[in-house]
Every structure is written in structure tokens, then in C-alpha cells.
Amino acid sequence: MSAPGVKLRMVSQLKRAGPIYRCVRAVRRRSRRLIYDVLRCSLPSWPRLGPARGLFHAYDELRTGRLDGEILLERQTIVPSPDGSLKILAKLGQAGYQPWPVFWTRHDHARLIGEAALLVDHHKRACAEAVYLHLHDGDPGYNALWLPMPIRLSGNWTSVISRWPTNYYHWFTDCLTRLALLERMPADTKILVPHELQPFQKETLRWLGLADRIVPLPGRHLMVDHYYFSSPTVMMGCANPYGVQFLREKFLPRADASFHGPEKIYIRRRDKSRGIRNETDVIAFLEMHGWQAVDLESLTLAQQIHLFAHARAVCGLHGAGFTNLLWCRPGCVAVELLAENFLNGCYEALAGCLAVEHRFLVMPGDEQSRIQVNLDQLGKLLPI
């Protein structure tokens, strides 16, 4: 067996061990953090050598007048999370992270590092909001040990690049929402985007009229004349009414009205990680109740928007397809299926911004987070 195969087999065996696997992961994370913390303190403060030397909060510096910019919102109003909420069960902090201000700041002679173009100040501190506050320890740019010679960019720039640049959910909720602040910046501001854009990313930027202003990230170390930092409009995976409203205003008019799809949709997944072991039975069961399975990857983005904008109910395994709840009408019912070892409340939070009724069913998951759906339990969650 090859070395990668041996590694995968060992990881799979550890996952089956449950608590032992979680303990091993925790020890690994703490050891890695300790090593980087030692390097932050011991290495010289050279721009190209060693990890970032801590954090600075752009919002605090803006409020105290040390940075130029603008605060649009001090906090967002979100729907409370009742006991038993998926956002609470997932234990990812998605029921909180408010207040989360919406703001932009200007940085002259700014330095951007890593694949996510992380903003670093003259003291080699990383922007806390750019690394989602407490998630900074896992950010590759924050932990970069060596950087190449910088590439200089003249003029005005901003960025929509995140740590997950090609993910459908993160593109809409973490990346595009930063463009809600673009009109506050100079009209000639160029936009850094991931080096390779997927078709749906190109489409959204074209719809926004920005195709001639985007520039693929040219390197891992940039020196920028004037950089306008557009803060993520919320901690990732959390309720984001400001960003949701922006996306709906910009993209709902792009729905393909010539496309006609079912009103009750089952989201079929193609050869992805995780999965439903008895999906054939699930689809047959849903079809008996008037549902239709849809392969979203076979549809254009405009067709997906129209499909979900006219849906009465949506069901499927937790995955990126639920990002399309962005286009749903109030009163639509979303039924999300999850493995107990792969919980995430991001789509419940999204539904809460839209008055979409979110229901969920959690089932035991194997080492690959695959589930066997109980059809009786599923039937109780389906809308009449």
C-alpha cells in the first residue's frame, strides 16, 4: 500500500476510536500552536521570515482614529437561537458572535500575505477581522514561515479572497458580501480575486459589472499603495442579515424565468464526501410525496436561483447546495439531514435571515460521516 493509502487507513482507524481520535487531534493542534507561538516571539521581526507576530483589530483602530474608514453597522439583529437549535448543537459558536460590525478601513503601503491575501500591518501583526478573530491559529497566512520578494501594486485595491476561495457557500457568504462596501471606495478600486475562478464565480462577478476590475492574486506577498479592507460582514457560518440582503438585491433579478422546476426539491449530491447510504430509498419515499430529485450541478446559476426562489420545500444532506436558500421566499420549508459527527448550523442561520422554516434530522454517522436515513422520522418532518 502507498504512503498516502497507509495514512488514510490510519486516520480512518483513529476516527473509529472516537474519543481517542479527538484527543489526538487536540494534542496536535496545541503542539502546533505552541511551536508557532515560540517562533513568533523568538524570530527577528523581518517581513519575509517567520510567522505574524500577533493581531491588530482594524475596527478598534478605526474607532480610535488611528485608521481612516467608515462604520456602517455596529451590530446586526439576528433571530435568537432556542434550546435544541442546530447552531447550538453544533458547538461552533454560531449562535453568537454579535455584535459583529460592518466597516471598511484604508491602509496605505499595505502588505498582503499568503493565498488569502491576509492584511498585515507595519508591526507584522495580522488583521484580526481578516482571520475571523479566534480562528487565526489555523490561517496559513498567519503561520507563513517564509515569503518571497513582494510584488508591488500601485493604485487602489480591495480583496474578496477568503481561506476557502472555491467553496460555493463561502464564495457567496464570506467573499461576495464584502462587495457590499465597494461603493464606499474610490471608483477605480481594483479587486483581488482567487487565482483560478470557477464558472459560477465568474458569473457572479460579471453580473455585478466587475469583470474589468478583477485581478487574480499575483503572488503570496504583495505591497499595495492603497488597500481598502472590507471587513467580512459576519463571522463565517453565522446569521448575516446585511450580507443576505445585499446578495438577494443583486442576484434575484438574474433568475432564469424560462426555467421551470419542481416546487418540492430533493438536492442530489454527486460523488461527494459524506453521503446517504440508502439514498435510493429516500428518493423513492420523497417521490411518493410529490418531491423531485434535482442535480444542481447540471443547472446554470440563473436556473438554480429561479428554482429556489419558487420552491415550497427543500430537502437534502448538509452541503453547499443549501446555500441556495439565499433565494427562497419566506415560508419555504428546508429539511436538512446531518450526521451526528458532522454538525454545522450555517444553513439554519441562513434560513433565519429569510423567515425560511428550518427543520433538521440528525442520524448516526460512520467514519466518513455517511448516514442511514430513517424514513419514518423523515416523513414526520416533511411539510404537508
Kindly report, residue by residue over 186-210, the tens digit of the pLDDT: 999 999 999 999 999 999 999 999 9
Query: Residue 166 CB: number of other CB atoms within 10 A?
Result: 13
- What is the average pLDDT across 150-164? 95
pLDDT digits (tens, 9 = 90+) for 69-91: 999 999 888 888 888 999 999 99
pLDDT of 1 reads 46
- What is the average pLDDT across 166-179? 94
pLDDT of 31 reads 67
User: Is-contact 111 220, C-beta < 8 A?
Assistant: no
Q: For residue 14, is pLDDT > 60?
A: no
pLDDT of 165 reads 80
pLDDT of 378 reads 97
pLDDT of 297 reads 94
pLDDT of 8 reads 43
pLDDT of 6 reads 43
Average pLDDT, the chain: 90
350: nearest Cα among 365, 340, 360: 360
CA dihedral (295, 301, 182, 180) in degrees, to 10, reads -60
pLDDT of 11 reads 47
pLDDT of 4 reads 47
Q: How confident is the model at residue 18 (pLDDT cuts 50, 70, 90)?
A: low
The grid coordinates listed for 324 are 441556495
pLDDT of 26 reads 67
Q: Report the range of poorest mean pLDDT among 189-193, 245-249, 271-275, 305-309.
A: 271-275
Q: For residue 167, is pLDDT > 70?
A: yes
337: nearest Cα among 382, 292, 288: 382
Output 5 or 304, whichever has higher pLDDT: 304
What whole-number percentage of the chain has pLDDT above 90?
Answer: 72
CA dihedral (46, 48, 54, 58) in degrees, to 10, reads 110
User: How far apart are alpha carbons 287 and 275 in whole angstroms?
Assistant: 19
Query: Residue 329 CB: number of other CB atoms within 10 A?
Result: 13
Q: For residue 368, is pLDDT > 80?
A: yes
Q: For residue 313, is pLDDT > 90?
A: yes
User: Is-contact 119 110, C-beta < 8 A?
Assistant: yes
One-letter-per-residue 3-state SS of the chain: CCHHHHHHHHHHHHHHCCHHHHHHHHHHHHHHHHHHHHHHHHCCCCCCECCCCCEECHHHHHHCCCCEEEEEECCCCCCCCCCCCHHHHCCCCCCCCCCCCEEEEEEEEEEEECCCCEEECCCCCEECHHHCHHHHHHCCCCCCCECCCCEEEEEEEEECCCCCCCCHHHHHHHHHHHHHHHHHCCCCCEEEECCCCCHHHHHHHHHCCCCCCEEECCCCEEEEEEEEEECCCCCCCCCCHHHHHHHHHHHHHHCCCCCCCCCEEEEECCCCCCEECCHHHHHHHHHHCCCEEEEHHHCCHHHHHHHHHCCCEEEEECCHHHHHHHHCCCCCEEEEEEECCCCCCHHHHHHHCCCCEEEEEEECECCCCEECCCHHHHHHHCCC
Q: How confident is the model at residue 271 (pLDDT cuts 50, 70, 90)?
A: low
Q: For residue 12, is pLDDT > 70?
A: no
The grid coordinates listed for 47 are 517581513
pLDDT of 307 reads 98
pLDDT of 7 reads 46
